[in-house]
């Protein structure tokens, strides 16, 4: 594990994470981070799966809160985003070959956690696209005792007509060799946080945290990506379809859903909760897509529920 950089903005505290490079089986270089808890009583380790466009720096305060609660945290930049290897000559679009390729990244994160001898039990905390990757990993035997999902991408919030259009356009574009360009309506080549106003944004109702996202995107362009390619969209829709047919695992699960959700499908989330024995749905009526980046009252409600879930589900 060779050291990797970790970005800060002016005025930030020095990084508390140890960052390092990993390499997936197919040769893709990945950046990962470990935040060690200094709490008197260590409760275990959280494997944190970020969402699309995200990078490890975005979760520094979340990791600090989990550290204070007694949990080590390990996270990574998924292939194609953050400082991990990009998969196209043009670094800007969000792209992946197959959604199954993200599981190669998961394997390296698990191996790193084992090599670091991170304390057990392990728990999963997954947001948005990370929720799709996380559910697939759990179904494949990810060694965690519990799972918490934040607005998981188990479906996209599209009308039936738009969904049919997206499937048709992404499939047609891939068939004629245009799978590597941004899908129509996905935001083009530039980070959407630099093109969208606070009032328009679908991520958070917290002004300062939105301002932080904008500052990070403007200051760390190497971390950021734009809209998804046609190929990514086709692969994502296929993965959502596949996961919808999967049988829920016997694992304690909590999922948070914002009342102002406009990105992922609330219907898909509710369907999965209904089909997952013992699963709990945390309704956050005032939250947009990112409860961990929301106003303090929402953010704390989610993180307190997540920590309680991890602790309540501890093995004897």
Distance CA 68, CA 173 (A): 48
What pLDDT was estimated at residue 225? 97
Structural domains of the chain, ranges and CATH numbers in brackets: 17-312 (3.40.50.1820)
Residues 6+ apart with CB under 8 A from 310: 43, 44, 46, 71, 123, 146, 148
What pLDDT was estimated at residue 167? 66
What pLDDT was estimated at residue 47? 99
Q: What is the CA radius of gyration of the chain?
A: 18
What pLDDT was estimated at residue 266? 97
- The helix/strand/coil state of 264 is strand
What pLDDT was estimated at residue 173? 55
Distance CA 288, CA 63 (A): 21
What pLDDT was estimated at residue 187? 86
What pLDDT was estimated at residue 107? 98
What pLDDT was estimated at residue 287? 98
> Treating both helix axes as pointing N-terminal to C-terminal, what angle do 230-244 and 160-175 enclose, rounded to 10 degrees?
120
Distance CA 256, CA 150 (A): 5
Q: Residue 102's closest CA among 128, 123, 120?
A: 128
* CA separation, residue 201 to residues 128, 135, 207 (Å): 16, 27, 10
Q: What is the mean pLDDT of each run of 10 residues along the chain (316 residues)?
A: 96 96 98 98 98 98 98 98 97 95 98 98 98 98 98 87 63 60 86 95 98 98 95 92 96 98 97 96 98 98 98 72
Contact 36, 18 (CB under 8 A): yes
What pLDDT was estimated at residue 163? 67
Q: Residue 150's closest CA among 315, 305, 313, 314?
A: 305
What pLDDT was estimated at residue 179? 81
Distance CA 93, CA 95 (A): 6
Distance CA 167, CA 173 (A): 10
∠ CA 309-312-316, nearest 5°, is 140
Distance CA 82, CA 85 (A): 8
């Amino acid at each position: 594990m060779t050291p990797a950089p970790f970005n800060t903005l002016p005025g930030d505290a020095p990084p508390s994470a140890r960052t390092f490079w990993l390499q997936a089986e197919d040769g893709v270089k990945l950046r990962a981070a470990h935040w060690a808890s200094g709490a008197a009583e260590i409760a275990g380790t959280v494997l944190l799966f970020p969402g699309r466009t995200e990078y490890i720096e975005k979760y520094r305060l979340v990791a600090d809160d989990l550290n204070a609660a007694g949990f080590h945290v390990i996270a990574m930049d998924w292939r194609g985003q953050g400082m991990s290897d990009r998969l196209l000559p043009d670094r800007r679009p969000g792209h992946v070959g197959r959604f199954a390729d993200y599981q190669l990244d998961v394997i390296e994160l698990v191996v790193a956690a084992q090599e670091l001898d991170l304390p057990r039990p392990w728990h999963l905390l997954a947001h948005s696209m990370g929720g799709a990757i996380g559910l697939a990993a759990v179904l494949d035997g990810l060694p965690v005792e519990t799972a918490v999902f934040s607005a998981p991408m188990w479906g996209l919030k599209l009308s039936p007509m738009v969904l049919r259009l997206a499937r048709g356009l992404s499939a047609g574009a891939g068939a004629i060799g245009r799978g590597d360009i941004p899908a129509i309506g996905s935001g083009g080549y530039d980070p959407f946080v630099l093109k969208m106003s606070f009032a328009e944004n679908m991520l958070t109702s917290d002004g300062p945290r939105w301002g932080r996202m904008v500052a990070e995107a403007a200051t760390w362009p190497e971390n950021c990506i734009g809209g998804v390619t046609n190929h990514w969209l086709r692969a994502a829709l296929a993965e959502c379809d596949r996961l919808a047919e999967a049988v829920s695992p016997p694992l304690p699960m909590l999922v948070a859903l914002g009342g102002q959700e406009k990105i992922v499908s609330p219907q898909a989330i509710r369907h999965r909760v209904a089909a997952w024995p013992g699963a709990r749905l945390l309704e956050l009526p005032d939250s947009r897509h990112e409860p961990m980046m929301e106003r303090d009252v929402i953010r704390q409600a989610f993180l307190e529920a997540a920590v309680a879930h991890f602790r309540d589900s501890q093995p004897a």
